[in-house]
Amino acid sequence: MLSVFLFASSAACVEGPEEGKILSLDNVTVTCYALGGDTATLKEPVESLYVYKGDAGKALIYLKNVIIEGEREVTSFGIKDPLYIIVFRGFFPGLSKVTVKKVVLRGTEFDIYAEYWNAPEYSTASQPAAIIPVGQLPPGKYSVILFVGNELHKKTEFKVKGR
């Protein structure tokens, strides 16, 4: 009976000593136009990982402020801050997107597995991004590692303070 329950709840998260905790992708937000079409100041793709605190609806405003306006990236947060990881692919002259396939939390390391898709035949400029809610975290130094096609693409670090 217990094994049936564990199997049924595995869609939300799975935890094991080697696998870590697989996070649900239910609330991941994906967009092809993260900067709202404002790409005049971008000279080349700027693929990056960011961590944002606050409301998911404002994560793209934060992203635009960092990339376009030059606002300083935040890398230190409090234990009560609701956190989001932003996967930003950069600017593309044709249609492109990012799809998050899996997010695994191993201790204080988030491994994000994503796929990139490009359709350069479409002349619509795009700035693909995914916003991944990770919630409130205990104090510690965390890392976020992005894998695309099982290859390491990017890595960033952030801290969560106890008070």
- In a domain, residue 144? The reply is yes
Q: Provide the domain count of the chain.
A: 1
Torsion sign, CA atoms 67, 73, 75, 77: negative
Confidence (pLDDT) at 8 = 27
The residues, any chain, with a CB within 8 Å of residue 42's CB and separated by 6 or more, are: 35, 67, 68, 90, 91
- In a domain, residue 88? The reply is yes
- In a domain, residue 48? The reply is yes
- In a domain, residue 9? The reply is no
Domain of 72? 14-161
Averages of pLDDT over each 10 residues, the chain, 163 residues: 28 53 94 76 75 91 89 95 95 89 97 92 88 96 95 96 84
The residues, any chain, with a CB within 8 Å of residue 41's CB and separated by 6 or more, are: 68
- In a domain, residue 24? The reply is yes
Residue-wise pLDDT tens digits, 85-113 = 999 998 888 889 999 999 999 999 999 99
- In a domain, residue 132? The reply is yes
- In a domain, residue 4? The reply is no
- In a domain, residue 51? The reply is yes
* Cβ count within 10 A of residue 59: 24
